[in-house]
Amino acid sequence: MKSIIGIHRSYCPLKRFGLIFLLGICLYILPATELFAQNSDNNSHQWAYINRIIITGSSDQSDPKNYQVYSAFTLEAAIRKQINAAFSAELNIKTESREVDFTDDTGVVTNLGSVELLPVNIILRYHLPFKGSFHPYIGAGGNFTVCWEKSGFLDNKDLTPSFGAAIQLGADIDLTSFILFNIDIKWNSMRTDIEESGRKIVSLKLDPVNFGAGVGFRF
């Protein structure tokens, strides 16, 4: 670790356009969930778009030990399709900038740089039968996370993509017939290896818990 002497940042060409492009794909793909709909309700507002402010948890679980990945504060975009009165499907996406540190046996902490992660969740949600303006839900699905930018010591390293389970718990609170306030807690499993020339240096286990709140619009 003594050879780590500087930090510089390289930029991915998708930085400005990647999120918009992916959201466009999501808007195109999600209507396919209608194929699974049975007894759908007649509510004219079957779609919703939500922006959440998200804080994610940190992790110090690694193999070998002494690597730490710090928490992130970011924005999340979500698109949701109501399948019927009880079920809906949600796709959400965000970018996370996380710092990575290494602590040696003498207690000296070295910053290895930062990683930009792009987590995507696809979740099937069940809406609990509450009446009124409060609409709680639980959900489960899958997560896919890729690293799309790195800096510092990590700049010339590879981070493997992660596939895992995702769990969601939250509630919508009606502000008007088409505007809602959303609170949300999500957990997803995440494993990634830091590699150099195909050789694994360290395995990171994040399993982040995400706390979010935001405003949505039904249409």
Give me the sign of the Cα torsion angle 36, 218, 19, 159: negative
Q: What percent of the chain has pLDDT over 70?
A: 80
Structure token digits, residue 51:
């922006």
Neighbours of 46 (CB within 10 A): 18
Residue pLDDT, tens place only, 52-83: 999 999 999 999 999 999 999 999 999 999 99
Residue pLDDT, tens place only, 138-197: 999 999 999 999 999 999 999 999 999 999 999 999 999 999 999 999 999 999 999 999
How do the domains of the chain map onto residue ranges?
48-218
CATH no., domain 48-218: 2.40.160.20
Contact 141, 163 (CB under 8 A): no
Q: Which residues of 97-131 are buried (b: 16+ CB within 10 A; e: fewer)?
A: ebbbebeeeeeeeeebbbbbbbbbbbbbbebeeee
Q: How far apart are CA 53 and CA 57, in angstroms?
A: 14
Can you give the pTM of this predicted structure? 0.77
